[in-house]
Amino acid sequence: MNRGKYRYHPEKFDTDDPVLQKEWEDLKDVLCDNEYMTRYKIMIGQPINLKTIWNIWSTPSTDLSNIWSHFIAGIFFIVRGCFFPGRFLALHLITAYTYITSSMYHTFRNYNRKLYDIMLNFDVSGIAIQIFSYDFVDTIAFFHNRRNDLMYIYIAVFSVLAILIIGSVPIILKRKLYTLRTVSFSICALTCFPLFVHGIKIYGWNSKSKRMLILRIITIALEGVGIFFRASKLPERCAQGGVFQWCFHSHFWFHLAASVGSFVGCLSTEAMR
């Protein structure tokens, strides 16, 4: 391991307890997944309770910005969703669910691999549900009481795709097919455009449909910005030895872009109200 990159990075977990050592071996490949990040917090062997969780949430470490950025985003979407009825409230709650489970998987990756895996599956599945929730809301906006037959067809197609994608999440994560995850989710995000083309032909090209299309393009662009930061590791690569290695690192900017993208995505669905 390159010691120049890993000033605070855990190279090993010192213990004579074989059980704890096994837990560390299971955990370190998900905790130490970025060779440029620093100040990882190791909590192997600590009890699973609120005190330990608060310890992780209140101590400066590389996951602190990950945890709080997504938790705050989750609370934001819950509060904002309370001002909307029906399907718009459901969309906000689904979005909040995704961000809160993300904050929890970043919590548990510090000390419990089993709970980390569970929360990661919830988080990634939630992202897929969120993507298809946009499609469902858009389908209703375009076709409800205009072409109910098309509405049911699109809902059926999106339901089948959602089941296939969500069902594949545990396999993708278990086999660490992260590129496949990114590609498949990106393709799913683009499913809105055939719907838009068809829907606008029936609904018409006006200020509402125009605003919806523009906001959805911005949503997808922001997700692309987030993926770029996560893949490039640019902040911590270019600013080693400072706050960009343990707080404002690439994963934080990935989270920020995703949060803003989700907000714009909600705005895009509301454009047709």
pLDDT at site 32: 65
Write the pLDDT tens digit of every residue in 134-172.
999 999 999 999 999 999 999 999 999 999 999 999 999
Provide the domain limits for residue 130: 62-270
> Which has the minimum average pLDDT: 31-35, 55-59, 196-200, 222-226?
31-35
Determine contact, residues 31/8, Cβ cutoff 8 Å: no
Residue 106 annotated as binding site: yes
Determine contact, residues 62/242, Cβ cutoff 8 Å: no
How high is the mean pLDDT of the chain? 90
Residue 249 annotated as binding site: no
Per the listing, tokens 């190279």 go with: 11
- Reading the block at residue 40, the tokens are 């990882």
Write the pLDDT tens digit of every residue in 92-131.
999 999 999 999 999 998 889 999 999 999 999 999 999 9
- Asked whether residue 1 carries a pLDDT value surpassing 50, the answer given is no
Residue 259 domain flag: yes
Residue 121 domain flag: yes
Residue 251 annotated as binding site: yes
Eight-class DSSP state of 133: H
Residue 1 domain flag: no
Determine contact, residues 31/110, Cβ cutoff 8 Å: yes
Residue 4 domain flag: no
Residue 190 domain flag: yes
pLDDT at site 6: 47
**Cα 265 → chain centroid:** 14
Q: What is the mean pLDDT of residues 12-31?
A: 81
Nearest to 221 by CA among 186, 255, 192: 186
Cα-based distances in Å from 5 to 34, 77, 132, 220, 231: 10, 37, 40, 33, 17
Residue 234 domain flag: yes
Residue 140 domain flag: yes
Residue 254 domain flag: yes
Those residues whose C-beta lies under 8 Å from the C-beta of residue 230, and which sit 6 or more positions away, are 250, 251, 254
Sheet strands (E) in the chain: none
- Burial class for 39, CB neighbours closer than 10 Å (0-12, 13-18, 19+): middle
Nearest to 132 by CA among 78, 101, 94: 94
- Asked whether residue 256 carries a pLDDT value surpassing 60, the answer given is yes
* Domain count for the chain: 1
Nearest to 85 by CA among 259, 269, 212, 216: 269
Both ends of the chain: CA-CA distance in Å?
55
